[in-house]
Structure 1
């Protein structure tokens, strides 16, 4: 393998470099026409998770009722909850 053409050149100290990044300001606003969606998955289990899922629901009450029902039937107490909502980005200016 041939020698690098920079052999013997002083090594630049990478920790001394300055980098400036511009920041783009964006505000997110919930879309008033879209319903949020929620889902719960039962993750109770020793060897593996139960995996029962609520499916897509639209209110916290529906989600709580599903969790309560599954808990009453199975005795499972640990759930992963996901909430999704559509948001609209309102771009600002470069800083």
Structure 2
């Protein structure tokens, strides 16, 4: 219901309980790494490494792309499979 003096909505108070979750990296799943070349003034190069499964593979791809093109700025994405272990409501 709006406040009669200002015609603004009345303040409401909501309370939320927290649900605690612990996330654990799944040791049976391979991690995934990917890099995208973002070197460029108007727009990034956009060349991507594709998905690789070790940091060494990613570093090697970046080094090779840098050597071939002189490009030196990259965005890196790291992904891992997690298992959520629910905790208790608090």
TM-score category by the smaller chain? 0.7 to 0.9
Q: In the comparison of the two structures, how many residue pairs are matched?
A: 88
- Is 2:38–2:45's contact at 8 Å kept on the other side of the alignment? yes
Mapping of residues 2-17 of structure 1, within 5 Å: 9=4, 14=11, 17=12
List, as ranges, runs of 4+ consecutive aligned residues in structure 1 with deviation greater than 6 Å. Answer: none
**TM-score by structure 1 length?**
0.82
Counterpart CA distance in 2 for 1:90 and 1:7 is: 43
Q: 1:36 maps to which residue?
A: 31
Following superposition, the deviation at residue 60 of structure 1 comes to: 0.5
Unaligned runs of 5+ in 1: 1-5
**TM-score by structure 2 length?**
0.87
| Aligned counterpart in structure 2 of residue 76 of structure 1, from 65, 71, 75 | 71
- Is the partner of 1:50 in helix, strand or coil? coil
Once superposed, what is the RMSD of the aligned Cα atoms?
A: 2.2
1:57 aligned onto 2:52: yes
The structure with the largest alpha-carbon Rg is 1
